[in-house]
Amino acid sequence: MFSQTVEYALRAVAYLAGQSPVGRTTDQIAAATKVPKPYLSKVLQKLVEKGLVNSQRGVGGGMTLARPPAELTILEVVNAVEPIGRIRECPLGLRSHGVRLCPLHKRLDDALATVEEAFAGTTLAEVLAEPSPSVPLCDVPGGEPDRPKRGRKSLA
CA distance 136 to 23: 19
Whether the CB-CB separation of 15 and 33 falls below 8 Å is answered with yes
CATH, residue 19: 1.10.10.10
Q: Is the pLDDT of residue 58 over 80?
A: no
Whether the CB-CB separation of 70 and 38 falls below 8 Å is answered with no
Q: For residue 102, tell me if it sits in a domain.
A: yes
Considering the chain, what is the average pLDDT of its residues?
84
For residue 149, what pLDDT is reported? 39
Q: For residue 31, tell me if it sits in a domain.
A: yes
Q: For residue 139, tell me if it sits in a domain.
A: no
**110 band by pLDDT with thresholds 50, 70 and 90:** very high
Q: For residue 56, tell me if it sits in a domain.
A: yes
Q: Is the pLDDT of residue 106 over 70?
A: yes
For residue 93, what pLDDT is reported? 76
Q: Which domain holds residue 14?
A: 4-131
**105 band by pLDDT with thresholds 50, 70 and 90:** confident
pLDDT tens track for 128-144: 888 877 766 644 333 33
For residue 136, what pLDDT is reported? 61
For residue 91, what pLDDT is reported? 79
Q: For residue 138, tell me if it sits in a domain.
A: no
Whether the CB-CB separation of 26 and 63 falls below 8 Å is answered with yes
Can you tell me the mean pLDDT for 92-109? 82
Domain count, the chain: 1
Q: What is the pTM of this model?
A: 0.79
Q: For residue 125, tell me if it sits in a domain.
A: yes
Max mean pLDDT range (25-34, 56-65, 82-91, 135-144): 25-34
Q: For residue 151, tell me if it sits in a domain.
A: no
Q: For residue 33, tell me if it sits in a domain.
A: yes
Whether the CB-CB separation of 34 and 148 falls below 8 Å is answered with yes
